[in-house]
């Protein structure tokens, strides 16, 4: 079962929240849905779940709209807001109410509580006394109740401690390995590093990139060469004459564009410029994300402190 989003458009008054958004979440993969706050991630997910109506386009789950699914909780498990559980209700009772409404067996409660690591004592406590991380785990447990083929989680890492982050990364990968389609939204690329198989990057209501992680990193690296030298000024002069574009990234570190590693070595050797390290530059996922979304954020901090 897949999620298909085709040409979604949505306006809220003068704000164009979605402008022709299209992508597919495939079975057996973790798809990261990333973009700055306000980019359109939550709006898209709400439309997929039938909570908001699109002004144009369509969103399908297994070829059908969410509202036409016969057993929606068994098809799609979702967590859009970890704080949605009533604070006066006990964790187990929250899950029991959801299971009863969907005709799910009571034994499923113990199974999902074990999966998300909430103890029996924690499940008996009122949600109002939960930490944010515990509420995230409860929300994920609710999403898993129907043993769905599709999972949609909005900012699931928010509030989790380092142990919890490692846990959820493993959980997402295991769910995808079982053949489920997993869509995870985040405004922080680092949260999905090592987890997502594919990335859909959105900014200002438009899809900026829809690609695999290796393809994104390759494009961001841009054929640059990383270099360390004890004579950076001489290296910059020699490499510039050889046709390279050189930038300083540290006291003894440079990046070179326009020359491959072999040509860089040849130019430095011919100019008798010493160097201790040279390699093809490999962008991090965070660098790739920042470059893609540079013009898609609503706010930009000014360098140098408060003006």
Answer yes or no: do 30 and 48 share one domain. yes
pLDDT of residue 236: 93
Tens digit of pLDDT for each residue in 51-61? 999 999 999 99
Answer yes or no: do 65 and 34 share one domain. yes
Confirm whether 27 is domain-assigned. yes
Residue 298: band (very low, low, confident or very high) from pLDDT cuts 50, 70, 90: low
Q: What is the mean pLDDT of the chain?
A: 87
pLDDT of residue 220: 62
Q: Which residues pair with 58 in a beta bridge?
A: 6
Mean local confidence (pLDDT), 193-204: 87
CATH number, domain with residue 213:
3.40.50.300
Instruction: Decide which of 218, 247, 274 is a domain's last residue.
Output: 218
Mean local confidence (pLDDT), 175-191: 88
Answer yes or no: do 16 and 136 share one domain. yes
Name the more confident of 94 and 191.
Answer: 94
Confirm whether 30 is domain-assigned. yes
Answer yes or no: do 22 and 51 share one domain. yes
pLDDT of residue 226: 86
pLDDT of residue 304: 41
Name the more confident of 160 and 141.
Answer: 141
Residue 282: band (very low, low, confident or very high) from pLDDT cuts 50, 70, 90: low
Answer yes or no: do 139 and 177 share one domain. yes
Residue 200: band (very low, low, confident or very high) from pLDDT cuts 50, 70, 90: very high
Answer yes or no: do 150 and 254 share one domain. no
Tens digit of pLDDT for each residue in 93-133? 999 999 998 889 988 999 999 999 999 999 999 999 999 88
Answer yes or no: do 257 and 193 share one domain. no
**pLDDT cut 90: percent of the chain above it:** 57
User: Is 175 a residue whose pLDDT tops 70?
Assistant: yes
Answer yes or no: do 103 and 229 share one domain. no
Mean pLDDT highest for which of 203-217, 261-275, 292-306? 261-275
pLDDT of residue 305: 39
Answer yes or no: do 210 and 274 share one domain. no
Answer yes or no: do 36 and 104 share one domain. yes
Show the domain range for 164: 3-218
Domain count, the chain: 2
């Amino acid at each position: 079962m897949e999620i298909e989003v085709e040409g979604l458009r949505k306006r809220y008054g003068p704000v164009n929240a979605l402008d022709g958004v299209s992508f597919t979440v495939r079975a057996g993969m973790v798809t990261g849905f990333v973009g700055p706050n306000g980019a359109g991630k939550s709006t898209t997910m709400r439309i997929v779940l039938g909570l908001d109506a699109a002004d144009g386009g369509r969103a399908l789950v297994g070829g059908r709209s969410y509202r036409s699914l016969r057993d929606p909780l068994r098809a799609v498990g979702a967590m859009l807001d970890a704080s949605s559980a009533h604070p006066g209700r006990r964790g187990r009772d929250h899950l029991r109410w959801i299971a009863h409404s969907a005709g799910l067996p009571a034994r499923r409660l113990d199974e999902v509580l074990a999966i998300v690591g909430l103890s029996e004592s924690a499940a008996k406590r009122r949600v109002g006394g939960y930490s944010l991380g515990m509420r995230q785990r409860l929300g994920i447990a609710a999403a898993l109740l129907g043993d769905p083929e599709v999972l949609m989680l909005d900012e699931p890492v928010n509030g989790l401690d380092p142990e919890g982050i490692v846990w959820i990364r493993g959980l997402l990968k295991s769910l995808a390995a079982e053949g489920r389609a997993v869509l995870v939204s985040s405004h922080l690329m680092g949260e999905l590093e090592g987890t997502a198989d594919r990335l859909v990057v959105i900014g200002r209501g438009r899809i900026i990139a829809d690609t695999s992680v290796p393809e994104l990193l390759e494009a961001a690296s841009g054929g640059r060469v990383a270099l360390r030298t004890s004579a950076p000024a001489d290296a910059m002069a020699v490499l510039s004459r050889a046709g390279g574009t050189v930038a300083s990234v540290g006291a003894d570190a440079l990046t070179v564009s326009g020359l491959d590693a072999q040509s860089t070595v040849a130019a430095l050797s011919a100019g008798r410029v010493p160097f201790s390290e040279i390699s093809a530059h490999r962008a991090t996922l965070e660098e790739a994300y920042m470059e893609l979304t540079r013009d898609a954020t609503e706010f930009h901090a000014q360098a140098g402190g408060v003006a």
